[in-house]
Amino acid sequence: MTNLRLEVGRDSDLRAASSYIRMCVFVLEKKIALADEFDQNDTSDTIYSVLFDGSCPVATARLLMEDTETARIGRVATIEEYRGKQLGSRVVRALEDLAKSKNFKQILIHAELSAAGFYENLGYHKKGESYEEDGVPCITLVKNC
């Protein structure tokens, strides 16, 4: 893990790298249905943050524009053997920085309830009650830019 490289953008290579990580983490490991994981938001306009170890993609997140004031970060995932090394924080912060540079006022995250502490450590606050999404308990968190 000495050759880490972070890339943020819309190109098809980043979308493919992000899809690989999400397939490993959400579909194969967490058993989320393929049709639920890959949705209408995975387009050429979606911005992805991907952290590579050499040429291997190891952590990812995506940024969506909810409206003119609100961005949403989602699909945050890290390959199992790379967890606990703050890599998820890096991909999230890269997208937060981009959202701030685009003058968004707040960022939303729809997170698995079990991951709420991770986002709270990054300055997010729970908003509303928990709910179920794709069969998984979730919570919405928000952070002002």
The per-residue pLDDT for 107 is 99
Is the model's pLDDT at 135 over the cut of 90?
Answer: no
- CATH classification of the domain holding 115: 3.40.630.30
The per-residue pLDDT for 35 is 87
The per-residue pLDDT for 80 is 97
Burial 104-116 (b: 16+ CB within 10 A, else e): beebbbebbeeeb
Q: Hey, which residues does 63 pair with through a beta bridge?
A: 47, 73
Stated pTM of the model? 0.93
pLDDT digits (tens, 9 = 90+) for 107-132: 999 999 999 999 999 999 999 999 99
The per-residue pLDDT for 9 is 97
Query: Please, what's the largest Cα pairwise distance for the chain?
Result: 41
- Rounded to an integer, the average pLDDT of 7-31 is 96
Task: Determine the structural domain holding residue 123 and report its residue range.
Answer: 4-144
The per-residue pLDDT for 104 is 98
What is the spatial distance between Cα 141 and Cα 127, in angstroms, rounded to a whole number?
Answer: 5
* Number of domains the chain is built from: 1
pLDDT digits (tens, 9 = 90+) for 34-86: 888 988 888 888 999 999 999 999 999 999 999 999 999 999 999 999 999 99
